[in-house]
Amino acid sequence: MATVKRLLLSEYFVLFLSVAYFAALAPFTPGLATADNLGNVLATLLPLFIVAMGQTLVLISGGIDLSVTSIIALCSITGAAIMNGDHGWLAGHPLAVPAALAAMLLVGALVGLANGVAVTKLKMPPFIVTLTGMMFFSGLAVWLTQSKNIGNLPAAFNRIGGNTVIAFTITVLLGVVAHLMLTRSLWGRWLYAVGHNARTSLISGVPVHGVVIGAYMASGLLAAVAAVMYTGQTESGSPVLAQRLLLDIVGATVIGGTSLFGGRGKILWTLYGVLFLKLMDNSLNLLDLSHFTIMMVKGAVILFAAVMDTWRTRAPA
Amino acid sequence: MITFEGITKSFGGVPVLRDVSFAVPPGRTVGIVGENGAGKSTLMNILGGNLQPDRGSMRWEGEVYAPRNPRDAARRGVAFVHQELNLFPNLSIAENLFLTTFPKLGRLPLIDRATLHRRTAEWLEQVGLTHPPDILVDRLSAGERQLVEIAKALSLDAKLIILDEPTTSLSAREAERLFALMGRLRERGIAMIYISHTLPDVLRLCDEIVVLRDGEVVGSGPRADFNIERMIALMVGRSLNQLYPERRAAPVEKAGEVILEVRGVTQPGIVRNVSMNLRCGEVLGIFGLMGAGRSELARILFGLDPCEKGDIRVAGQSVFGAPPRRRIQRGLAFLTENRREEGLCLEATIAENITLVSLRQYQSNRVGLLNMGRLREAVNAIRGAVRLTPTAGNEAPVKILSGGNQQKVVLAKWLLAKSGVLILDEPTRGIDVGAKFEIYQLIHELADNGAGVLMISSELEELTGICDRLLVMRRGEIVAELRREAFDGERILAAALGETVETGAP
Amino acid sequence: MKNIQIESTSQHCERDGLLSRKARRPLQCLYWKMFCWCFAPIWMLAAGLLLLLPMGCKKAQNSGSGGSGEPQLTIGVSFETLQTGFWVASLDAFKAECAKRNIKMIQAIADGDANRQIEQVKNFITRKVDGIVLVPKDAKACIPIIKAANAANIPIVLFNRPPDKSDAKSVAVVADNFALTRETVKYMIGEARKTGKKHKAMVLIGDLGDINAIGRRDGFDAAVKEAPDVVEVVARVPTEWNQEKAQAGVVNAFQANPDISFIFTSSDFLLPSIVSALKATGKYKKVGEPGHVFLGGFDGDATAYQMLKDGYLDATGVQDVYFEVEACLQAILDARAGRPVPETITDAGFVIHQGNLKEKAPRMWGANVKQ
Amino acid sequence: MNTRQNKLAMLVLNNASLLLFAGVLTVFAAQSPQFLTGTNFANIIVQSSSTAIVAIGMTFVLLTAGVDLSVGAIMFVAAAVAGKMVTGNAPIWPALLVILVIGVVLGGVNAFFITRLKVAAFVVTLATLYLGRGFALWLTETRAINLPPGFLVLGTDRWLGLPLPIWILALVLGVAHLVLTRTPFGRQVYAVGQDVEAARKAGIATGRIFAAVYVISGFCAAVGGILSLAQLGAVSPTFGTNKEFSAIAAAVLGGTSLFGGRGKVFPGTVMGAVLIQTIENGLVILNVNPYFYPLLTSAIIFVAVLIDSLRASLLAKWNRRWIRVEEDLISNRS
């Protein structure tokens, strides 16, 4: 029993799980182990990992950010509206793409700021703030576009957005920066402290409000980066982009091992969580399992991960 | 009614009650007096079923009585009126009284409101409350809520009611109403244990008096044998096993320079017109009883609570109205009373806790990332300075440490931040004797290295043992100031109690 | 796991023993034990589901690869949703057609998520299917899918929803929404003119992201513009193909102007909402009866067929599903054989109404769907 | 900081939703005459009946400072199973019974994970949301099921002049109000929501209270599912989506606090549900662009929660123990 406990508690449990899962299913599922299938998995894994990173930061601070899906949708249509070929504000303008990217990041940051201020200064429960945020900003995206997609994006954007190599480098870069920020920077240590005990942090001179607002803004920014990738993949700005992604985002972070009680979590853990979730998603898809059976399996796995998380936090040291 | 025989209890090796034996005859009121930390609350928690004694036993009308939880105690007829009342403000008085024993409408699971209100009205009438039974508790004043708590005790047909510091947040009028009620209860043969600091009340109300000091009964007997002077003398006495490090005024370069200046700090309802000076190298103590406003004053000085009037200057610069973060940068430090919730991150590692305040100084200039190497060295150096137990490594979570070591981690946290002024609120509460001695030594070393220490405590010997100067607070005001040479336990306690020993008038 | 639960339950009863009399306590514990016992199996089921899953799929996998004779073609069919009867009937038609032509069919439903549809089609490509039939979520998001198929030079045919203009090559088999709707509404106006009264009209519009919905709306407007004396549009209800939104919109529109007597829905799958609103306000009258509200629709699904037979529905534009399905599969086979394939194949469809009900019914897909 | 001023502030904060309701009514009534007609109100109440019933169940959960995201999925599962049974021409009454049993069972699953395994309520109900929705989609193969007219009678039929849904709502409301205000269990729910530790000390079996509220929420979700199904006449794959948001919105608008211990089913939560529907109804009559609804409803929920947290922090500030009770306070405390 002790070895099992040590294994379950070890940091790399989810990584072992993914590798074991892949090995178990590879012989049965056609085309799972082929190069371009793994390429597909990677293409869909990168944006999810970026959003999950943002979610990890917010969870470590002891909160939760449900509004990321609506941030992705809002950024997607903002960018598309700017650089759209026929009636975009900067249609055809050489600076259209950089301006659109900047606008998308700005929107992500602003929504993150709004969430952060509501949670800290207005002392509202993070769960409800981001829940109403999700409804409001996705409603805003649908209202601005009257639920019509915005297509015909400049070729330059489609090349950048949809290109997996660029996406991979951006993701690795962001991953390293986030890891360093969390473990080695002032802000990161403060974030862990606030997640563990906000009162002690306040009394120890940690700018609690500033740190938490920073976490929500980071989550918003990362969601905007993911929006660039998703929009690139579909080559159109859609107001309902990523509507079904909430389960994957929260699921990957929780499966990875980030605790819902705050104070515990790592970027690497979230990477393993996203890896496992996407691997499972892809393999079940290749096994012709319908979309909703996959939804059920994901629900069950998240429940199991949450029970593990409670058991780990509550288990005697 | 109830007799205690050789009750002994210790927390983590710290003896709190030593062989306590006395009896509460039926229908009599016994007053228990003693300083904070004398073991009064622990004794009552044992009687009320919240705690179990290590040794000794209790007898209830002859039978053995060992309650495992408050409900067992309540079933035997023992009711505990805590200071923080256990009432539900969002429910009515009637519902609070009969929360788990509602009268039902025949076999229906519905509450029989008529009988509920009738029976509640009876109990309210007994405690002298005229409010309607269905009024919500959050509309009542503190005094009225206390009467409801007593009514609740009566409704569980309690035969013994324990009143713990009932008059602290009552106005004079409400206190008188409480005393009248206690008189009526005594006539009805209900035994009561009355714990309070206001000695005149104890003398007036109680038939018998028990004086506790350091967990031992140092005096008990009928009221006639006691007066205020004798009670204070018994309460103060020298405690045997607690040694204090020798306090010699070590030479300090900036000795005598004022590092903390407080002028006329006032916050309505909390503190009024508090002024003091703290010098480098000086250990200034603040003594006072429960509810004198010492912790509230500390929180105001640190900026956690607002303050209407007055001025606070640290190292000559005013920090009035500044948030805690800026006051810390000025050199202020605050070791809170509640170590586990406000002093430490229990789940985090020892290194993380120690470096929490002073992280900013360890940013390497290049990219702003923390220089982990220097950080680790600093942590190890500080661990040596506070002599933290070497058994737990830097990465171990703080929650596995003992009380004393946890307090050392908090001290190390502020030591690393090189704070000029240290406010310590009950630094040695819940710590064993050995660790206490080390904490006192650390406090002296801090002062000797030029820091100003403002130490708040409710243990008189501790303050007289290690402080250079002492202020006494009562009801949010500073009522006395004594230098080390003029320390006299009885005069200090009398000032804290609001008695002037000579005249005896409040 | 289970025995821990039981032992802690009994402990739970003692520790939380209520202040009730001795007699009642064992009864209360019984409830609580029963409560926990009946959930132990559910907990086991969830764990079992996780473990049995891989085994379950192995069975499904090897039964598929049998096949006989020359290499059997495999076609991947990706539908955006099966939300309405029209899509269900189309998928069944594809299954029947593939069986007839001895083609192995793999299906994937994206449940309204464009990104998921991209993933599913890419999975088809990795499984080297011989042809892809796609019902795109929207005209713009399907372009990268078509490009991916072009890259793997797998012929791709879009069923019922055309793609946006782009350099991606694909075949689109679509109904002429604009013309078919205009015909249907023209017939309804003809019937309405007979009453000699001017009618207030309501139109239920589909999801503006779907080109078909826009085509039908424009068809409706074109027909109504030609007869301002008979029909005046007073309410436009956007439904986004969502029944709850449609139902609320219809009821509230009736609130705003209770005397609406002419209703056209861009899809028959919204008819139940209209019917329940009409019944609630007592306006559900047969054709020809006084106070009859003119009803018209599009698609020609089973509900429409039932209402036509019962005499409540005036007319509906029917998409010839069978024609469209054959055209798709034929296009794939032609493309594989290198024969030139037109970019768009239009299905004229036909208007079915009280008059030509008997004669047109067998061709109407809604008629032979079991209700 | 004198007390009279604070009493006024508390008064405003406590019945903010009443003020909002009155404001909305006057604005819409001024805009269009049909708004204030009797039929319009009956119509609004019928339309909001299913949300109101689900919100009643949600109120029980919110009272214990918990949350239940799975109500939408429970409605969908119940409707899907009932749809399958009724189209397989099973009689109506056993189908309704099965729906209620499903509601209770799924509520029980939530309760089991939250109370016995101590997992955060938010994660458990999020997982059951997807488990439930996935199961129902599998059951209906994501195809819409049209219900025979027999079932629609529940939605459109009238009894004693009032549409059936209003009677069902009145029944559920009556029972819930009675349970919360008149039974020991109800009062203990308020106690547990206010302060779990004190409740445990007072001898309340807190574990059972927490479990019971999730079962009640599941049951109410099932009843709400029946009503919504009867009105719609069909089970589409998007059945019940976002119902958990409108349920929470209705409860919070009705004055239920997210911090537990505060909230009334009648008039609170039901009025919250009717308020949301009135706004939506009024917007249609003003033929405002329908895409505007989610913006307005989420903004209103945000404001309601903001008021709730302001009230909580104000209360906390006042209940602090006073040190100096004597002279300088008597003047304020009168």
Extents of the domains making up chain C: 69-169, 177-319+352-368
Examine the pLDDT at B332 and tell me if it is beyond 80. yes
Average pLDDT, chain A: 86
Domain C69-169 and domain C177-319+352-368, same fold? Reply is yes
Asked, as a colleague might, if the bond just before B67 is cis with ω within 30 of 0, I would say no
pLDDT of residue C41: 42
* Chain C environment of A28 (Cβ under 8 Å): 54, 57-58, 61
C227, C198 in Cβ contact below 8 A? no
Q: Give the contacts of A28 (CB within 8 A, at least 6 positions apart).
A: A287, C54, C57, C58, C61
Choices 3.20.20.70, 3.40.50.300, 3.30.70.1450, 1.10.540.10: CATH for B257-497: 3.40.50.300
Q: Say if C218 is an interface residue toward chain A (CB within 8 Å).
A: no
Average pLDDT, chain B: 83
Q: How far is C214 from chain B (nearest CA, A)?
A: 56
Residue A86: inside a domain: yes
Mutate to test the interface with D, among B93, B99, B112 (most CBs of D within 10 A): B99
D245–A131: do the CB atoms touch at under 8 Å?
A: yes
A203–B372: do the CB atoms touch at under 8 Å?
A: no
CATH of the domain at D269: 1.10.3470
Examine the pLDDT at B360 and tell me if it is beyond 60. yes
D131–A127: do the CB atoms touch at under 8 Å?
A: no
Chains in contact with D, where contact means 3 or more Cβ–Cβ distances below 8 Å, are: A, B, C
How many domains does one find in chain A? 1
Cα–Cα dist B40/B36, whole Å: 8
pLDDT of residue D321: 65
CB B390: neighbour CB atoms within 10 A?
8
Q: Say if C272 is an interface residue toward chain D (CB within 8 Å).
A: yes
CATH of the domain at A116: 1.10.3470
Q: How far is A294 from chain D (nearest CA, A)?
A: 8
D217, D111 in Cβ contact below 8 A? no
pLDDT of residue D1: 40
When pLDDT is averaged across residues A40-69 and rounded to a whole number, the result is 92
Residue A158's domain comprises 8-312
Of the candidates D131, D213, D207, the residue with the CA atom closest to the CA atom of residue C43: D131
Domain regions of chain B by residue span? 2-242, 257-497
How many domains does one find in chain D? 1
* Chain A environment of B356 (Cβ under 8 Å): 189, 193, 200-201, 204, 206
pLDDT of residue C369: 66
* Chain A environment of D123 (Cβ under 8 Å): 250, 254, 260, 302-303, 306
When pLDDT is averaged across residues B257-264 and rounded to a whole number, the result is 88
Examine the pLDDT at C67 and tell me if it is beyond 70. no
Q: How far is C17 from chain D (nearest CA, A)?
A: 8
Examine the pLDDT at B128 and tell me if it is beyond 60. yes
In this prediction, the answer to ipTM > 0.90 reads no
- CATH top class, domain B2-242: alpha beta
pLDDT confidence band for A35 (50 / 70 / 90): confident
pLDDT of residue A8: 62
C36, C9 in Cβ contact below 8 A? yes
Cα–Cα dist D271/D273, whole Å: 5
Among chain C residues, CA nearest to D242 = C244
* Minimal Cβ distance to B356: which of A193, A264, A317: A193
Examine the pLDDT at B122 and tell me if it is beyond 70. yes
Residue D144: inside a domain: yes
pLDDT in tens, A78-108: 988 888 877 777 777 778 888 889 999 999 9
* Chain A environment of C209 (Cβ under 8 Å): 147-149, 238
When pLDDT is averaged across residues A276-289 and rounded to a whole number, the result is 83
Residue D200's domain comprises 32-308
Residue D198: inside a domain: yes
Examine the pLDDT at A277 and tell me if it is beyond 70. yes
D233–C272: do the CB atoms touch at under 8 Å?
A: yes
Q: Report which listed range, B153-162, B280-289, D151-160, is most confident.
A: B280-289
Angle at C119 between CA C113 and CA C125, to 5 degrees: 140
pLDDT confidence band for C5 (50 / 70 / 90): very low
CB B122: neighbour CB atoms within 10 A?
13
When pLDDT is averaged across residues B468-483 and rounded to a whole number, the result is 88
Choices 3.30.70.141, 3.40.50.2300, 1.10.10.10, 1.20.120.350: CATH for C177-319+352-368: 3.40.50.2300
pLDDT confidence band for C361 (50 / 70 / 90): confident
Cα–Cα dist A274/C172, whole Å: 37
The enclosing H or E element of B227 equals none
Q: How far is D191 from chain B (nearest CA, A)?
A: 6
Give the pLDDT of chain D (334 residues) as one tens digit per residue. 446 777 777 777 767 767 777 787 788 777 777 777 777 778 788 888 999 999 999 999 999 988 899 999 999 999 898 888 888 777 888 888 988 999 999 999 999 999 988 888 888 998 999 999 989 988 887 777 777 777 777 767 777 778 888 889 999 999 999 999 989 999 999 999 988 888 887 888 888 999 999 999 999 999 999 888 888 777 877 788 888 888 988 898 888 888 888 888 888 899 889 888 888 777 777 767 767 878 888 888 888 888 888 888 887 777 666 677 654 444 444 3
Cα–Cα dist D236/D80, whole Å: 9
* Chain A environment of B413 (Cβ under 8 Å): 204
pLDDT of residue A116: 95
Between the CA atoms of C85, C86, C90 and C96, what dihedral angle is there, to the nearest 10 degrees? 40
When pLDDT is averaged across residues C140-161 and rounded to a whole number, the result is 87
Q: Say if B371 is an interface residue toward chain A (CB within 8 Å).
A: no
pLDDT of residue D109: 93
Of the candidates D264, D278, D314, D251, the residue with the CA atom closest to the CA atom of residue D12: D314
Cα–Cα dist C124/B98, whole Å: 68
Task: Find where tokens 């989610």 sit.
Answer: D294
* Chain D environment of B89 (Cβ under 8 Å): 194, 319
* Minimal Cβ distance to D40: which of C43, C238, C255: C255
Q: How far apart are the first and last CA of chain C?
A: 47
Q: Say if B100 is an interface residue toward chain C (CB within 8 Å).
A: yes
Q: How far is D91 from chain B (nearest CA, A)?
A: 33
- C6-32: string of b/e by CB count within 10 Å (b at 16+)? eeebeebbeebbbeeeeeeeeebbeeb
pLDDT confidence band for C32 (50 / 70 / 90): low
pLDDT of residue B419: 87
Measure Cα distances from D27 to D31, D36, D40, D58, D295 in Å.
Answer: 6, 11, 16, 29, 18
Taking phi over 0 as left and psi of -120 to 50 as alpha, with beta for the rest, B190 belongs to beta
Tell me the β-bridge partners of C347. Answer: C175
Residues 341-370 of B with CB under 8 A from A: 341-348, 352, 355-357, 359-360, 363, 368-370
pLDDT confidence band for A65 (50 / 70 / 90): very high
Report the number of secondary-structure helices (H) and strands (E) in chain C.
13, 12
In terms of pLDDT, which residue wins out, D102 or C363?
D102
Choices 1.10.167.10, 3.40.50.2300, 3.40.50.1980, 2.20.25.160: CATH for C69-169: 3.40.50.2300
pTM: 0.83
pLDDT of residue C59: 37
| Number of Cβ pairs < 8 A linking chain A and chain B | 72
pLDDT in tens, D37-75: 777 778 788 888 999 999 999 999 999 988 899 999 999
Q: Say if D328 is an interface residue toward chain B (CB within 8 Å).
A: yes
Cα–Cα dist B126/B141, whole Å: 18
Give me B233's structure tokens.
């003398």
Cα–Cα dist B379/B416, whole Å: 8
Burial zone of C100 (CB within 10 Å; 0-12 exposed, 13-18 middle, 19+ buried): exposed
Of the candidates C185, C167, C160, the residue with the CA atom closest to the CA atom of residue C77: C160
Cα–Cα dist C269/D146, whole Å: 9
A156, A224 in Cβ contact below 8 A? no
In percent, the amount of chain B with pLDDT more than 70 equals 93
CA atoms within 13 A on the CB side of D51: 28
**Residue B348 DSSP class:** S
Tell me the β-bridge partners of B477. Answer: B474
pLDDT in tens, B164-217: 888 776 777 778 888 888 888 888 888 888 888 778 888 888 888 888 887 888
pLDDT of residue B71: 76
Residue D13: inside a domain: no
Angle at B19 between CA B13 and CA B23, to 5 degrees: 140
* Minimal Cβ distance to D119: which of A127, A293, A310: A310
